[in-house]
Amino acid sequence: EGVSAYQAGNLQDADAAFRQILKLNENHADANHLLGLVARQNGDNKVAAELISRAIQINPDNAAYHNNLGNTMKDLDRMDEAVASYQNAIAILPDLAPAHSNLGSALRVLGKLQDGKASLQIAIRLEPDTASAHVNLGNIMKDMGRHEDAQASYRNGLNLDPNNLDSLSNMGNLLEEQNQTEEAVD
Q: Quick one: residue 30, left, alpha or beta (phi over 0 = left, psi -120 to 50 = alpha)?
A: alpha
Single pTM value for the model:
0.90
**pLDDT value at residue 93:** 98
C-beta atoms surrounding 126 within 10 Å: 17
pLDDT in tens, 135-173: 999 999 999 999 999 999 999 999 999 988 888 898 888
**pLDDT value at residue 138:** 96
CB 115 within 8 A of CB 107: yes
